[in-house]
Amino acid sequence: MKFSVARETLLTPMSQVIGVIERRQTLPILSHVLIVLEEGRLSLTGTDLEIQLVARAGVEAGEPGAVTVPARKLLDILRLLPERSQVSVELREDRLALRCGSSRFHLTTLPVENYPAFDSGSVELEVSLPSECLRLALDKTLFAMAQQDVRYYLNGLLLDFEGSTLRTVASDGHRLALFQEALPAPFAGNRRLIVPRKGIQELARLLGDADDTLTIQISPNTVRVNLGSVSFSAKLIEGRFPDYQRVMPRELNRSYRIDKDRFKGALSRVSVLTVEKQKSIGLEVKAEESVMILNSQNAELEEAEERLEIQAEGGDIAVGFNAGYLLEAIGHADSEHVLLSFTQAANSCLIEDTVDQRFKYVVMPMRL
């Protein structure tokens, strides 16, 4: 292998694949990036066995070949080289030589045949949609995913394709975030996928720079997303995601409309005097006075209280909440006001964006 390329041409794909390569690996080969040059096309592959990223770039001329090198060392070198410089890369026996101006580097390699293959399986279903659609759907819901929950199916995000509708759903058992979007073209069949937490976070990062249309290819145990020059693959979580439709509260008889920014500020101030882990606060509504009262108290008997004007429909209510859950929910609403709705039993709260009905959030009250 031998080629010469602009620093930025090599740095961009390296920055894209580095997210799936862990710093500490039980298998040394997993800390390496696989670099392949063939027919003027350079591909860089990174994997942790559960997720794989492949980024591609064009090379004007060079000798084809393949090599694996320590990923983070290569990335650090490229970042520190001068901008718009030219980098020459050449494989010499078991070393990869890099030259840039007066700089010289020699990196160790491992056998290419030892690099693990990622078996995506045969494609059963395929759907194309605007990248902005998926980016928004993930952004509105991924924050509610569980972390290392024993209910392994919650440690990821549900992609629910139904007809011409895409729904993304995330829950940690205490709250649930739902986003629903109409697809430009009907989906050939219904399919539910649970993508692991790390995979969703990496996909969301890649979508931040993606343009135009992406393609999702679904196999029995994997999903692949093609984003132009980058391909993302992940093994799916096996299991049945809870029926999120049953979680959505029905027969709502109390609704409170409140200014989002004022609500967010009040929640932030009241939560200062809460216990760090629980962040429990009291939320009371006096409907006749059109006022919401937020209060908190900690082990030192310190107290905080905020009063907010609201538009109330229905009666009074007094419940406890995790302030952090409420803050994350309203932080993902784009409208000037948010709507909090309750059933008669007040066993859950539905939070909605008053303008964009695609986003819904359910949070369970807690005992104070």
The answer to whether position 368 is within a domain reads no
C-alpha distances out from residue 277 to 136, 264, 268, 271, 323, Å: 29, 19, 15, 11, 11
Whether 48 and 134 map to the same domain: the answer is no
pTM over 0.85: yes
Asked if residue 334 lies in contact with residue 364, where contact means CB atoms within 8 angstroms, the answer is no
> What's the Cα-to-Cα distance from 41 to each of 60, 169, 272, 284, 309, rounded to whole Å?
8, 37, 54, 62, 61
Query: Are 21 and 44 in the same domain?
Result: yes
Same structural domain for residues 52 and 79?
A: yes
Residue 119 forms part of a structural domain: no
Last residue of one domain, picked from the residues 114, 145, 180: 114
Q: Would you state the pLDDT for residue 124?
A: 87
Q: What residue spans of 215-362 are helical by DSSP H?
A: 244-247, 260-270, 323-331
* pLDDT of 210: 67
Q: Residue 368 has what pLDDT?
A: 57
pLDDT at 127: 87
Q: 24: which 2 tokens?
A: 């500490």
Angle formed at CA 197 by CA 221 and CA 140, multiple of 5 degrees: 115
| CATH of residue 179 | 3.10.150.10
280 and 210 within one domain: no
* pLDDT tens, the chain, 368 aa long: 999 999 999 999 999 999 999 888 789 999 999 999 998 899 999 999 999 999 999 888 889 999 999 999 999 999 999 999 999 999 998 999 999 999 999 999 999 999 998 887 888 888 888 999 999 999 999 999 999 899 999 999 999 998 889 999 999 999 999 999 988 777 767 889 999 999 999 999 999 876 788 999 999 899 999 998 999 999 999 989 999 999 899 889 999 999 999 999 999 999 999 887 778 999 999 999 999 999 999 888 899 999 999 999 999 999 999 999 999 999 999 999 999 999 988 889 999 999 999 999 999 998 75
Beta partners for 309?
291
Token duo for residue 12: 């961009």
Indicate whether 42 belongs to any domain.
yes
187 lies in the same domain as 233 = yes
- Name the residue range of residue 12's domain: 2-114
Q: What tokens were used for 268?
A: 């932030």
| Strand order through the sheet with 280-286 | 303-309, 291-297, 280-286, 317-322
Instruction: Please work out, in degrees rounded to the nearest 5, the angle formed at the alpha carbon of residue 175 by the alpha carbons of 170 and 181.
Output: 40
**Last residue in a domain, options 74, 89, 114:** 114
The answer to whether residue 21 sits within a structural domain is: yes
The three-state DSSP-derived secondary structure of 57-121 is EECCCEECEEEEEEHHHHHHHHHHCCCCCEEEEEEECCEEEEEECCEEEEEECECHHHCCCCCCC
Structural domain ending residue among the three candidates 61, 86, 114: 114
For residues 284 and 293, give the distance between their C-alpha atoms in angstroms, rounded to a whole number.
Answer: 5
What pLDDT is stored for residue 118 in this prediction? 87
How many domains does the chain contain in total? 3
- Written in H, E and C, the secondary structure of 298-313 is CCCCCEEEEEEECEEE
Q: Are residues 339 and 259 in the same domain?
A: yes
- Does 258 lie in the same domain as 232? no
Joined together, the tokens standing for residue 179 give: 């986003």
Strand 311-313 to 254-259 pairing: antiparallel
- Residue 172, domain member (yes or no): yes
Say yes or no: 222 and 289 in one domain.
no
Q: Are 107 and 50 in contact (CB under 8 A)?
A: no
- Helix (DSSP H) and strand (DSSP E) numbers for the chain: 7, 26
Buried b (16+ CB within 10 A) or exposed e, 331-345: ebbeeebbbbbbeee
Closest CA to 267 of 283, 246, 286: 283
Rounded distance between C-alpha atoms, residue 153 and residue 325, angstroms:
20
Residue 120 located in a structural domain = no
**Placement of tokens 């007066």 in the chain:** 102
Which residue is listed with tokens 């078996």? 119
Residue 238: inside a domain, yes or no? Answer: yes
